[in-house]
Amino acid sequence: MAQDAAGAIGARVSPQVDTLIRAAQGGDQDAFEQLVRTYDQSVLRLAMNLLRSPEDARDVYQEAFLRVYRNLHAFRFDCSFHTWLYRIVTNICLDQLRKRKVRKEEAAVMETSDGPIDRMETFEEEAAGSDPERSMWNQELKQRIENALVGLTPRERMVFELRHYQGLRLRNIGEMLGTTEEAAKNCLFRATQKMRGVLGDFV
């Protein structure tokens, strides 16, 4: 299970972050930049894992932090900054996923500045070279996982991503998505069931 630094930040705003936010609200550019650097890695990782496209992840990053820049004056400290930021980020990502629902966008290979790479290259290729059967099985598993994820609704995908890969608590996820913890639990259950259904005898 993956645990992200953002999860630890999420619960409470540290005094340093609090100071940064207030300074940035007053127009301090350096403070804003430091604030971005505190959270941006987890934002980019979320966008990358969710959208599986460096190009789209960059767009989400830029759009999210520009919205933060424009609207930071409206942040009133009535929730954690992490939750506030993730509300923005998840909204942008959900829009992207909904747009994609009309197309099957989950290509196995994506373009990067370093040339095309296999999206699933982090998959272990255990002795694949010497074991064609194993390699074929891995390929099929990859394809099934992609199919399973494509079969989720954008909201189910988001809840699953935030819980499984970002390690956030369902209570926080509910808060970010403007829903209840109970609804987030149901969403996670549905996502898991769907994936188990598609992956079938692979798991």
> Which residues within the stretch 3-22 sit at the binding site for other proteins (CB under 8 A)?
none
Question: In this structure, are residues 83 and 175 in contact, taking their beta carbons and an 8 Å threshold?
Answer: yes
112 forms bridges with which residues in the sheet?
115
Residue type, 153: T
Among 14, 16, 66, 98, binds other proteins (CB under 8 A): 66
CA separation for the pair 143, 137 (Å, rounded): 10
Among 114, 127, 129, 130, binds other proteins (CB under 8 A): 114
Out of 9, 17, 20, 48, the residue judged to bind other proteins by CB under 8 A: 48
Binding window for other proteins (CB under 8 A); candidates: 8-16, 70-78, 79-87, 150-158? 70-78
Residue 70: burial class (beta carbons within 10 Å; 0-12, 13-18, 19+): exposed
Place of tokens 């942040």: 75
Distance CA 154, CA 56 (A): 15
- Contacting residue, 31, 94, 110, 183, with other proteins by CB under 8 A: 110
Question: For residues 117 and 108, is the Cβ–Cβ distance under 8 A?
Answer: no
Nearer to other proteins, 15 or 201 (CB): 201
Given the rule CB under 8 A, which of 6-14, 77-85, 86-94, 181-189 is the region that contacts other proteins?
A: 181-189
* Contact present, 75 and 83 (Cβ < 8 Å): no
Residue 69 found at the interface with other proteins (CB under 8 A): yes
Q: For the segment 89-108, give every residue that binds other proteins (CB under 8 A).
A: 99, 102-108
C-alpha–C-alpha distance, residues 38 and 30, integer Å: 12
Q: Which stretch binds other proteins (CB under 8 A): 8-16, 80-88, 139-147, 150-158?
A: 139-147
Determine the interface stretch with other proteins among 6-14, 83-91, 141-149, 150-158 (rule: CB under 8 A). Answer: 141-149
CA 45 – CA 51 distance, rounded (Å): 10
CB of 44 to other proteins, least distance (A): 6
Closest CA to 6 of 63, 69, 49: 49
Binding-site member from 15, 78, 122, 129 for other proteins (CB under 8 A): 122
Q: Which stretch binds other proteins (CB under 8 A): 10-18, 25-33, 81-89, 150-158?
A: 25-33
The values of phi and psi at residue 33, to 5°, are -65, -40
